[in-house]
Structure 1
Amino acid sequence: MKVIIAMKGCEFSIGLSPQEPILEIKNKIQHSHGIPVSSQTLTVCGWELIDGLDLDDYPLISEGTKIYLSTKHTPLVLQQHNGKIKITVKFSARKIDIEVDKTDSVRSLKEKIHIVDGTPIKRMTLFFSGSEMEDDYRSLVEYGIGEFSEIIVFLKNMTRVVAEPPIRRLDLVVQTSSSLLNAAKISVEMNDTSTVNEVGKLLQERNVLPCDDYIFIHKQRLMRDQCSLRWHGVQNGDYLYIFKGTVTRGG
């Protein structure tokens, strides 16, 4: 399969086998681009790829996945996307400036607007560059939002507000990596309003997970412990991947 290696100022594709050692990937990069193995750091979803593991230890990596490459002399490309930015939120008669993370979703942006301004989340419809922003799991940076971007807020009439969708039961497959356990697949059933933390507690009760030091990934995106499966856009039959480690967001 082919993946995309992204570094500051350029991207290039590289062919890999599913059992490719991480160290061998770095050797290929050194051979093709002259970057010493000792200075390379590879990351996916904010998690560093470890030299002692193989590619199949990372089930979230598939055809076309973007792997970020940095060197000791180059800041992580991923960190450039994870920083805090200031944006302007404009209402019909006022505007406010707030600080957000580029990795925030539209839903979490609405939550921050509610905290700062008190506007009910259900009344908000957000627009950027003339297009409506959906309450999905895409990050703000994926919408093209950067420092000093202006978000327009339209308010719905309360009589027209659509009720929250009913709670749904989701049949999910949890895939653990060999670095955490023995690459097991576990079927779980959860409400879509359940948080990622609640999924973790259920797996701990089944003696599947340790008490700490693990992260959840859904569709190549890091999941947040206190947010619901619905918030992350998880659908019936989806896979959730678990890896050993912790992630510190850039600031």
Structure 2
Amino acid sequence: MRIVIVTRTHDFVIEVGLQEPVLEIKMKIEQLLGVPVASQSLSVSGWELVDGLDMEDYPIVIEGTKIDLTIKSMIMLPPLSHCSKIQIIVKFPARQFNMEVDTTDTVHSLKEKIHVIDGTPIKRMLLFYSGIELEEDFRNLSEYGICEFSEILVFLETMHRLRDEPPSGRLSLVVQTSSSLLNAASIPLEMKDSCTVNDLRQLLLSRKILPIDDYLFIHKQRIMRDNCSLRWHGVGNGDCLYVFKGTISRSGY
């Protein structure tokens, strides 16, 4: 499909695929305009597009969508070998600790460092950042957008891990509909953080707040998974969830 890149001075059209990552689109822009990828920020309606996601993760991006390109000024850092060192926060369900890593570290090397500090078996670790699983061990942390003070969630790949999670709490949240759905209504709700996205969907349908249809829920620019809890998605008290009509269908998955 074709999208329109909007800059301060002019607009131009580029061709992108539905499964093309945001990072690759930035690379195309770098070839066309000479603007370094690190200096680019792409956004739609004020939502910044995340490098690790692709166009299918953004249902609001369709044929002809205008995407704003903001060019960020680069701060020159001294050419020291340690300039890529950052502090991250490693969070388990019942504990957390800070760790220094390098942005060029791979996901696997991060797991090894966590193992050295905490003793957690590497093969049982499931790492998540901003609701996205770090499932490719060979990728660098920078490829997932991990930066200074990013929070990495650690779960254990076992059916018994729920025993280690804190008791369920209640969340006050707002469901915001799109302009084409209920005229951009804001719906306040209170739910347990252990409730799944599907539970949320059924609650809205049972109260006849939403008409019967297929919906996508988005939290902090990321599509939410039906069978995962609000806590798993990192939903906090007072957060806003956006709802759009539609479904996700990925070929080859």
Task: Give the TM-score band, short-chain normalised.
Answer: 0.3 to 0.5
- TM-score, normalization by structure 1: 0.47
